[in-house]
A and B are shown apart, each in its own frame.
Chain A
Amino acid sequence: SQQGEEDPQALSIQEGENATMNCSYKTSINNLQWYRQNSGRGLVHLILIRSNEREKHSGRLRVTLDTSKKSSSLLITASRAADTASYFCATAAGTGGFKTIFGAGTRLFVKA
Chain B
Amino acid sequence: EPEVTQTPSHQVTQMGQEVILRCVPISNHLYFYWYRQILGQKVEFLVSFYNNEISEKSEIFDDQFSVERPDGSNFTLKIRSTKLEDSAMYFCASSESRGGTEAFFGQGTRLTVV
Contact = CB atoms under 8 A, between A and B. Distances in A.
Interface stretch (B43-51, B69-77, B79-87): B43-51
Nearest to B89: A40
A98 B33 CA distance: 9
Interface of B: 31, 33, 35, 41-45, 48, 50, 55-56, 58, 89, 91, 93, 98-108, 110
Given A2-B42, A97-B99, A100-B103, 11 more contacts: A37-B43, A41-B108, A44-B105, A96-B55, A97-B100, A98-B50, A98-B56, A99-B45, A99-B58, A102-B35, A103-B42
Residue of A29, A35, A48, A100 contacting most chain B CB atoms (<10 Å) = A100
A45 B104 contact: yes
Given A42-B105, A42-B107, A43-B105, A98 B42 contact: no
Contacts, number: 74
Contact of A105 (B35, B42, B48): B42
Contact of A45 (B33, B35, B43, B103): B103
A92 interface: yes
Interface of A: 2, 29-31, 33, 35, 37, 40-45, 48, 88, 91-105
A96 B105 contact: no
Nearest to B54: A98
Given A92-B100, A97-B98, A102 B42 contact: yes
Contact of A98 (B48, B89, B91, B106): B48
A43 B42 contact: no
Contacts of A31: 100-101
A8 to B, nearest CB: 16
